[in-house]
Amino acid sequence: MAYDIEHAAVVGAGIMGAGIAALLANVGIPVTLLDVVPADAAHSSDRNARNRVAQAGLDRAIKARPASAFYTPRNVDLVTIGNIEDDLARVGEADWIVEAVFEQLAVKRDLYARIEPLRRQGSIISSNTSGLPAQMLLDGRSEDFRRHFLVTHFFNPVRFLKLLELVAGPDTDPELMRFMGRFGSERLGKGVVYCKDRPNFIGNRLGIYGFMATLKRMLQEGYRVEEVDAIFGPVMGRPKSAAFRTVDLAGIDTTLHVADNLYANLPDDPQRALFQMPDFVREMVARGWTGDKAGQGFYKRTATEVNGRREILALDPATLEYRPQEPVSYPSLEAAKHLPDPLERIKTVIGGSDRAATLAWELTADTLLYTATVAEEIAGDIVNIDNAMRWGFNWEVGPFETWDALGVASLAERMRAAGRQIPPLVERVLAADGTFYQGAGARRRYFDFAGGNYLDVLPEAGPPLTVAERRKSGGVIKENGSAALVDLGDGVLGLEFHTKMNALDDELVQMMHAAVAEAQSNWRALVVANDAPDFSAGANVFAVLLGARMGAWDEVEKGIGDLQQANLRLKYASVPTVVAPAGRTLGGGAEIVLHGQHVRADAETYLGLVEVGLGLVPAGGGLKEMLARWQKGVEGGPFAPARHVFEIVAVASVATSAADALSYRFLKKRDGITLDRDRLLTDAKADALALADAKARGDWRAPEPPTFRLAGPGGRLVLEQQAENLRLQGKVSAHDALIASELARVLTGGDHSPLDVLSEQDVLDLEREAFLRLLGTPKTQERIETFLRSGKIVRN
């Protein structure tokens, strides 16, 4: 049958259920969110009281930190709350019913018995269970229910973690699995993996194994909590949260529950004993030390500041007392930490001879051997396993990719020498080609369990486009230390930034000029993008501060002017220009986005003009572009645009999603949003080609320069008075008021009359002048220096 999802129902409004409801609302799907009636309202007729649990879950999702589960507040309106006693019949309106209640088999089965007579025949029903096999959940269910049932296991937090595990039940319609795979990836932007119906599927099976192996070796060999995390963080291709910080984030009680579930349901697992949680962890849970949600777990944040930062204590498992963290430094870690390639970092660490290298090797061997041992039990192929660990646990490379990178034969030899048993899968690979993967890019192939041969990783479509792959294929046209021009194929030129945090410096700006010149001469379109998590954190403020301290004002002013002109060239290029931001896109990075003729943004893009936090104002054309956008369709004369932009920039507002950026007008309504970060460059290139085709038809041209009528000195006085009132109330400092005054001066046109018509260059000159005046003040220089030293914003 043909499937479609236009309305959904989520039963269970806990962290996961409310998060799933928010995810669906974020993509425009109306959702009914239900939970139990609280005990004290069982006999009440007050709907608010009876819906209190669902409302609390929705409120938690709205107020979640570091960002709401909703892209924008208006998406909340797509969620309707209710309770299971009064409103369960609403599931009959849903195309997809998601069960997200407690991880107790009896509770889930009882709920299904109530849902079955209410659901519509053919509607999809799924469980968000993190580990209960689908076949265990279906006892007593009808043929239609079983045919349309599957596990859809999202990872927490639902908005931010990419992994979605799909698990078919024994009778699930194969077409439903195909549909949900497409829906999960194309509509929800998730990384979909297909798991076999085994306890805890792929991610939690391997993730919990890795944590339990880490615990065991830490206790046996006397490593400290922070020592383990220093070793198994980015230097080993793992996230900054490493091992114990990750568990604190996930919840120690949740981790204990999953481990117990694995121990109970895997009687034949070769490492079953490892899933028995140590007593000290059970005691932590009994005391309520369950991680971040409780304020303490393996780490405890204190109110005491050390070197300008709040002190974080580490747990001593032997005493269950918290103590200051000790510095961690080993030659192998120092040698690896600055290497850009994660595989080279891993090789460097495990190739060392110090204590860090020993632990890194032992745990890497543990994980690789266990994964190869259970691979055929938990997944249909190695690709799903590698994707699960990268998308669910933020590993930079998956376990089988690691086998290959370190050398399957050499790893096996080292493991045999240590008395370890090599799994049959590894022996089969060694007898074949000796690697788990062959080739790269569109020609990448993987070793198939069933046939013992190699199959295409992506048989129907090529892999998403990346700058890295284009580089490997010889696509670099021009490069300096900060940026590169890369052939993206089909006549599209790419401009890639590659400084630290993609901060803007003179070389990067020079390459922006070169990119536009090259694109206009030889290419159909230009795309500004990179593979990094963050598009750009803004200008290199160290260089700016250094120039000010040295009195090199002419050079500082020239640098600002060069950025302004580079942005104008990007905006008025004679070929289409597309900017593709993702992650943090702040300050000067946001100004580049504002000048793109078209933007294709990742959904998780955080855009903002944040210069006031460092005692400055935007000077790369950001204020000019915001004025141009806010003077369209806004009533109130020349003062209204200035007021809107002032209210946004004066408090360093940052959009918490690409959708949220529309409300600030950082993005335009015609700009595109991509939910899957891996597909961002592919989509940006497609947009560029569509615009190039439109140009060829005569349907596209570069934008016309705007002109401005600004509010003048009278409008500036109104904005300055707002800041002065806040200063008199003690809410801002005198320097904050000075920054606000300079910002107001730019936005209202300086000394120009409201009758004067200003050009873009007039506003750019005002930006540059205000920036330089503020940079020359001791308090702004102090703010920048403090930020560089501690990462903190001060209000001096």
Q: Which tens digits make up the pLDDT trace of 606-625? A: 999 999 999 999 999 999 99
Q: Indicate the average pLDDT of the chain.
A: 95
- Mean pLDDT, rounded, for 489-507: 96
For residue 442, the Cα-to-chain-centroid distance in whole angstroms is 25
CA distance 457 to 364: 25
Q: What is the pLDDT of residue 309?
A: 72
Is residue 279 in some structural domain? Answer: yes
Q: What is the pLDDT of residue 325?
A: 95
The answer, yes or no, to whether residue 409 has pLDDT greater than 90, is yes
Is residue 637 in some structural domain? Answer: no
- Mean pLDDT, rounded, for 599-610: 98
- How sure is the predictor about 303, in pLDDT bands with cuts at 50, 70 and 90? confident
Is residue 626 in some structural domain? Answer: no
| Judgement on whether residues 401 and 512 belong to the same structural domain of the protein | no
Helices (H), 103-251: 105-115, 134-137, 143-147, 174-182, 203-221, 225-231, 244-250
| Judgement on whether residues 191 and 209 belong to the same structural domain of the protein | no
- Mean pLDDT, rounded, for 310-316: 93
Q: Which residues contact 305 (CB under 8 A, 6 or more apart)?
A: 311
Angle between helices 252-265 and 203-221 (to 10 degrees): 100
| Judgement on whether residues 41 and 180 belong to the same structural domain of the protein | yes
The answer, yes or no, to whether residue 460 has pLDDT greater than 70, is no
Strand partners, 31: 8, 79
Encode pLDDT of 37-74 as tens digits.
Answer: 999 999 999 999 999 999 999 999 999 988 899 999 99
* Number of structural domains in the chain: 4
- Mean pLDDT, rounded, for 692-719: 96
Q: What is the pLDDT of residue 305?
A: 74
What does the DSSP assignment read for 719-772? HHHHHHHHHHTTSS-HHHHHHHHHHHHHHTTTT--TTSPBPHHHHHHHHHHHHH
| Judgement on whether residues 124 and 33 belong to the same structural domain of the protein | yes
Q: What is the pLDDT of residue 624?
A: 98
Q: What share of the chain is helix, strand, coil (3-state, %, to 5)?
A: 50, 15, 35
Angle between helices 408-417 and 424-431 (to 10 degrees): 130
Is residue 330 in some structural domain? Answer: yes
Side chain identity, residue 675 = L
Least confident of 149-153, 178-182, 574-578, 725-729: 725-729
What percentage of the chain carries pLDDT values higher than 90? 93
| Judgement on whether residues 570 and 551 belong to the same structural domain of the protein | yes
Is residue 82 in some structural domain? Answer: yes
| Judgement on whether residues 674 and 531 belong to the same structural domain of the protein | yes
Q: What is the pLDDT of residue 531?
A: 95
The enclosing domain of 676 has a CATH number of 3.90.226.10
- Mean pLDDT, rounded, for 247-257: 94
The answer, yes or no, to whether residue 308 has pLDDT greater than 80, is no
The answer, yes or no, to whether residue 473 has pLDDT greater than 90, is no
Last residue of a domain, one of 431, 456, 481: 456
Q: What is the pLDDT of residue 794?
A: 86
| Judgement on whether residues 658 and 777 belong to the same structural domain of the protein | no
| Judgement on whether residues 536 and 402 belong to the same structural domain of the protein | no
CA distance 665 to 35: 37
Residue ranges of E strands in 90-168: 96-99, 124-127, 149-154, 163-168
CA distance 737 to 716: 13
| Judgement on whether residues 724 and 747 belong to the same structural domain of the protein | yes
- Mean pLDDT, rounded, for 429-449: 91
Q: Domain range holding 728?
A: 712-790
| Judgement on whether residues 513 and 539 belong to the same structural domain of the protein | yes
| Judgement on whether residues 103 and 72 belong to the same structural domain of the protein | yes
Is residue 628 in some structural domain? Answer: no
Query: What is the rounded radius of gyration, in angstroms, for the C-alpha atoms of the chain?
Result: 28
Is residue 762 in some structural domain? Answer: yes
Give the residue with greater pLDDT, 433 vs 309: 433
Is residue 116 in some structural domain? Answer: yes
Exposed, middle or buried by CB within 10 Å (0-12, 13-18, 19+), for 277? buried
The answer, yes or no, to whether residue 585 has pLDDT greater than 70, is yes
Strand partners, 81: 33
Strand partners, 126: 98, 150
| Judgement on whether residues 209 and 174 belong to the same structural domain of the protein | no
- How sure is the predictor about 461, in pLDDT bands with cuts at 50, 70 and 90? low
Last residue of a domain, one of 422, 456, 490: 456
Residue ranges of E strands in 409-458: 437-438, 445-447, 454-456
The enclosing domain of 160 has a CATH number of 3.40.50.720
Encode pLDDT of 530-583 as tens digits.
Answer: 999 999 999 999 999 999 999 999 999 999 999 999 999 999 999 999 999 999
Last residue of a domain, one of 145, 166, 195: 195
Least confident of 635-639, 648-652, 689-693, 731-735: 635-639
The enclosing domain of 388 has a CATH number of 1.10.1040.50
- Mean pLDDT, rounded, for 740-769: 97
